[in-house]
Amino acid sequence: MFLIVFVFTFFSLAITGAVAQGVIESPNYRIQFPNLNSGAGIPSSTNFALDSTLGQTGPGQFSSAGYLVKSGFQYIHSIIPFSFAISKIAIPFGTLTPQTPATDTSTLTVSSGGAKGYQVTARENHPLQNNASDTIPDTLCDAGTCSQTAAAVWSQNTTYGFGYNMSGNDIPAAFTDATYFKQFADASSAESAQIVMSSANVGRARQSTIKYKVNVSTVQPAGTYKNIITFTATPSY
């Protein structure tokens, strides 16, 4: 639903000081706080395009510790439209060799002009699973301490499971370097989606790389394993 507000300005000139016009009325109408724009439009040339209005009341950006308000016609649309892209949406690991980790990557790209930035969350529908309902469990990392909320080092070929690492812009601080991994939050266990990218600032083409890693033991049942990972990108205002 769109709310359209017509604002008018009335100018009054007096010899003995300024007159503030609060209400315009007649037997047929009543306009409170009138403010009539004396100009508006989008002047442009080969090199620029400029949105302009005149006569606004209280235009500008106002903020405090608890809020940020962008007031005025110049904020009707964002200079940086919100967008989100994933470079690769299918991750084929191919035939897995026990105790030989397989990896693949995708690039996440976000542009956000919202006053409070953005966040991207991720969650799997369930662990990697085949048609016989055998699973490749989510990794616990080398020390058995990583989870959907905590990252830890995963570098040993005798540590099995499925997980991910992040590098690039606006990633969680827990990914100290390329050896730190997490599990994906598991929807089948009612785990909440976790943030993989976020920023409180506006930005254009912010990019991160997500590395998927899987490693299986010599007793892992054969089969084609798969799951679905859902990424949700949300702008904040």
| 200 in any annotated domain | yes
Helix (H) or strand (E) holding 25: strand 23-25
Question: Same structural domain for residues 160 and 89?
Answer: yes
Question: Same structural domain for residues 38 and 63?
Answer: yes
Cβ burial, residue 9 (10 Å; 0-12/13-18/19+):
middle
Q: Which of 31, 51, 75 is the last residue of a domain?
A: 75
Question: Same structural domain for residues 177 and 214?
Answer: yes
pLDDT at 188 over 80: yes
Number of domains in the chain: 2
pLDDT by residue (tens digit) across 215-235? 999 999 999 999 999 999 999
| 175 in any annotated domain | yes
Residue type, 144: G
| 167 in any annotated domain | yes
Question: Same structural domain for residues 180 and 155?
Answer: yes
Question: Same structural domain for residues 91 and 206?
Answer: yes
User: What residue has token string 């017509």?
Assistant: 6
Q: Which of 48, 75, 102 is the last residue of a domain?
A: 75
CA distance 110 to 71: 25
Question: Same structural domain for residues 209 and 116?
Answer: yes
- Domain of 123, CATH number, reads 2.60.40
Q: Which of 44, 75, 106 is the last residue of a domain?
A: 75
Taking a C-beta distance cutoff of 8 angstroms, is the pair 193, 185 a contact?
yes
Question: Same structural domain for residues 89 and 69?
Answer: no
pTM for this predicted structure: 0.71
Print the domain residue range for 119. Answer: 83-235
| 2 in any annotated domain | no
| 120 in any annotated domain | yes
pLDDT at 144 over 70: yes
pLDDT by residue (tens digit) across 32-90? 666 665 565 667 788 877 766 566 666 777 888 877 777 765 655 667 889 999 999 99
